[in-house]
Each structure stands twice: as structure tokens, then as C-alpha cells.
Amino acid sequence: MKIILKSGPIYVPSQYVTDIRSAKKHGTPFKVNEMAYNDFIDIKQLPVPRLNKSVESELVKVSDIKVIKVVKVEDNKVKFCYKTSYIDDFKELNLGSKRASARNQRTEELQHLYNQKLDLSERKKSDVRSLLDAGLIPNFYNSYFDRVLN
């Protein structure tokens, strides 16, 4: 990325995607998943997972967990997977308790974190406008910034 930044400034977010893909010198380029505001889910509403047992009933120490992965299984359901070593395969955590009611199980339904695009603060908008007015951002990008600022 440092080499790419030396080649010239980045004016719009879409330039990051191209630059990240081409940042790898050898082999296949990095895969970039572009996301919109409605792709983010609110995980604060999920129940606090029981991180002490796996699906295979193995005891899991939270301090031994190196990687946690949240996987969308069905339409609005998730499962938590973990690794205790970077070499191992992912193992699934047992989230539910034996006494969990149907009401508590329903809380695993995913909700969108944002229902609309987030707006920029007035201070950021004025800063970007001042950069545009000063000519520090090329006129080519004016249409993009007009959409963002309005």
C-alpha cells in the first residue's frame, strides 16, 4: 500500500478497492468484498454466546481462542466458529443451553445495523467543500462529492 500511496493521492473510496486488490506483488490478487450500509448486522442483539463448550462437547478456554468467525447460516441465523491454533480447522461453538426456551432461541435472528446510509457530520462536509473550493481535489471527482455532500 505504501508504494501505491507514493504513486499518487486517493480521492474516492472506490480507488481503495483497486489499490488493495493490486497490493500483492506475487500470486493471485487480494479478494475484496465491497459492502453497502445494509450489509452490516447488529450483533449486539445476539445472545451472549456460551464460549466454554464446542458442539463436540469439548471444553474451550476463552483465553486459548485465537480466531472467532461469525458465519451466516440461514436467512437470518448465525453460528460462531473458533480456532485455538492458526493451523487447526474451525470448530463450532455450542451457543444454546439445554434449558433455552424458544423465545431465547429467536434472539439469534439478525437485524440490520443501519436502515439508511449514514450521513456525514457538518464539519466533515465543510472540510470537503473547502478542499473542493481550494482546487485540492480534481474537478473530475466533483460529481461524486456532490452526491456525498447533498
Could you report the average pLDDT of every consecutive run of 10 residues in the chain (150 residues)?
Answer: 73 87 86 87 68 78 86 77 91 66 51 88 94 93 90
The DSSP bridge partners found for residue 41 are 112
* pTM exceeding 0.85: no
Q: What pLDDT is attached to residue 55?
A: 81
